Amino acid sequence: MSVNVGDPLSRIDGKLKVTGAAKFTAEFQISNLAHAVMLQSTIPNGRITSMDTSRAERAPGVVAVITSSNALKLAAPESRLSVLQDAQVHYNNQPIGVVVAETLHHAAYAASLVRVTYEDTPPKLDFVAGFPTSYTGEHSNEPGDVGWGDVDEGLRQADVKVDELYTTPIQHHNPMEPHATIAEWNDDQLTVRDSSQNISGRKAELAKTFGISPDNVRVIALFVGGGFGCKGPGWSHVVLCALAARQTKRPVRLVLERPQMFGPIGARPMTHQQLTIGATREGKLTAIRHVVHANTSVIENYLENSAFSTRVMYACDNVSTIHRLVQLNMGTPTFMRAPGVATGTFALEMGMDELAYKLNMDPLELRLINYAEVDPHSKLPFTGKHLRECYTRAAEQFGWSKRSHEVGSMRDGQERIGWGMATETYPARRQPSGALIRFQPDGRVLVASGTQEIGNGMYTVLTEVAAAALAMPANLVDARLGDTVLPQAPISAGSMSTASVTPAVQAAAATAKEKLLNLAISDMESPIHGLGMDEVGFDGGKIFPKASPQKSESFADLLARHGNQPVEAIAKVQPDPNMKEKFAAHSFGAVFAEVAVDPRVGMPRVRRVVAVFDVGKIVNEKLARSQFIGGIVWGIGLALHEDTYVDWRNGRIANANLAEYHVPTNADVGEIDVSAIDIPDTNMNPLGVRGIGEIGITGTGAAIANAVFHATGKRIRQLPITPDKLLS
């Protein structure tokens, strides 16, 4: 039975994962494999004056101890990497060496024997002290600065203003699978198995770093046990694993321990966001100024674009968004699910709630008054926008009309109940992508692309789109991905995998089908011999004349007459190069949250969340639901749980483990009701799909924070919202 795009097809890889048959990076067994353990610094700034490795080198099973004194010199490593090219230390937990041994236990024991001596340099660890004393103007050419209109004049015209500081902490990714790499050299041929969201990018990075041709590098990632951004860029351990394999002339496996994932593989940076909003008494916005300070490292600038949402969310004639980076002796930050937008919508949507209370207005009404019909900055039309429908449906499903406006007025026994809402958004992106479709002699179809399965369901997406395009049963379609020998696809990040890869699958299917039917038309033994293409049908793997469907044959029979040679096509699809001149591309949504707070202990608890999304066509209903729910759970974590505790005297992270770094568990998550408008956005791509992986977190943190205020009357502008802040 064939499927249609949108059907709730169950995960193709589901059984493999629940039975343990799905192989993740660290699980591959390779002959003569050695094991590596990474050494890390214990100071935030300075240089290594000596490393005594003598005891480690004599320890049982040790193959090599590699430090900056004996490491292979690399051609062009990325600036954010610490790959033993010098003795400098730029942050606590920086990689400073690798121990390679016959077993993991041997390597870990030997690593404990290494003694390091440092020359300390005073570190930069005061975030606020690093703020610039002045700005270059509302419309400067600084990276990350965008503005229009006259904000000062708009604020002068305002009858009501909000001017508050909103802060978010450093937060660390905690995917179930830690980072893992296996590297193997065969002369100048490098094969790397890596837990990666970007195998093509990793291939290019490794080729550049080692000074070899990209054709000599192959990267494989069949399954990734979560990444959420931290497995997008290449990090030091990947290069160190390949370096160790080259120096020892053996395959090497390097798997990070959980504490090693705090520091050298990125994090969401902290932000201080000064938000100023002005409005008339009727609620019409007159000006918004959003100034963001975020930390970066001293070795590379990473910009957390938290004011992005302020540029697209509401119609306002005078807007200024400013970003400034503060260099600290911490590891380089990186993308974390909905980078920038998750933290930025917290500030903007909480500020809008505060404005609504100052105006004595329903927070939903305020948003509708300032609804943006076109992109506020570019004035371009959106590729598609149905946010009004999201507001209406979500409010109705939540029961928003029953909300009491007065804070602290809704109760359930001892608990105070709060209702809050927010708008969600995320940019809609698409990049060049390739895919292969192959009709195989055994009667099955292969769909393949060099994309990644990071938990987003790409095996299922590829299968469903290919099956629908070819009118084939899904159980006769095999999906292959996660290998750079396949047609190139972009990074699995930025909510763009499905929007990028599915048009390539669809195009490859159309070309392969045309090739197959032309082969049959030219075959005198085929039931469609001599017919025109418009007279031919193809369904369920069978070829037939439309006028006589009973006269059919399988494509396997056709291929058997032609030497059992497969018929295939590769499509490489590019987005419209003029898209940015024609449209603004964004997804939107509305989220409503209910929290309960026991005033005796100050513990906020999310009882339910309702969210409705406008994300174009839904490719698979089951996968979409899971992605939306996952994003909302991250929003709960953003609002109530996640916080990296840094000892600002030395840059050491104090809760670098899953016991003390809190993420939401089942007990923290109440009822979640998610749905989508499901209107195709054909301006975005032929299937009308946009990405959905990150939008669920945006706005959710603010909706929860707004609900906490409604319940308690306390505005907690410093995330996470914890009992100590509510009781103080």
Q: Which residues are catalytic?
A: 694
Task: Give the type of residue at 381.
Answer: P
What does the block give as tokens for 671?
């009822």
Q: How far is CA 715 from CA 340, 364, 588, 606, in A?
A: 22, 18, 25, 17
Q: How far is CA 678 from CA 382, 498, 615, 687, in A?
A: 16, 15, 7, 12
The answer to whether 534 and 725 have CB atoms below 8 angstroms apart is: no
For the chain, state the CA radius of gyration: 28
- Helix or strand (DSSP H, E) at 341: helix 341-358
CA atoms within 13 A on the CB side of 338: 34
Residue 421's contacts (CB-CB under 8 Å, 6 or more residues apart) are 363, 364, 394, 395, 398, 400, 590, 591, 592, 593, 703, 706
The answer to whether 193 and 181 have CB atoms below 8 angstroms apart is: yes
Using left for φ > 0, alpha for ψ between -120 and 50, and beta otherwise, residue 519 falls in: alpha
- Helix or strand (DSSP H, E) at 442: none
CA distance 97 to 107: 12
3-state secondary structure of 146: strand
The answer to whether 126 and 648 have CB atoms below 8 angstroms apart is: yes
HEC letters along 454-489: CCCCHHHHHHHHHHHHHCCEHHHEEEEECECCCCEC
State the pairing for strand pair 189-194/217-220: parallel
Helix-strand-coil split of the chain, %, nearest 5 = 30, 25, 45
The answer to whether 393 and 675 have CB atoms below 8 angstroms apart is: yes
Bridge partners (DSSP) of residue 50 are 117
Residue whose C-alpha is closest to residue 170's, from 652, 703, 699: 652
CA distance 146 to 289: 10
Residue by residue, DSSP assigns 148-185 as ES-HHHHHHT-SEEEEEEEEE--B----SSPPEEEEEE
Instruction: Evaluate the CA torsion angle 134, 140, 142, 148 in order and state its sign.
Output: positive
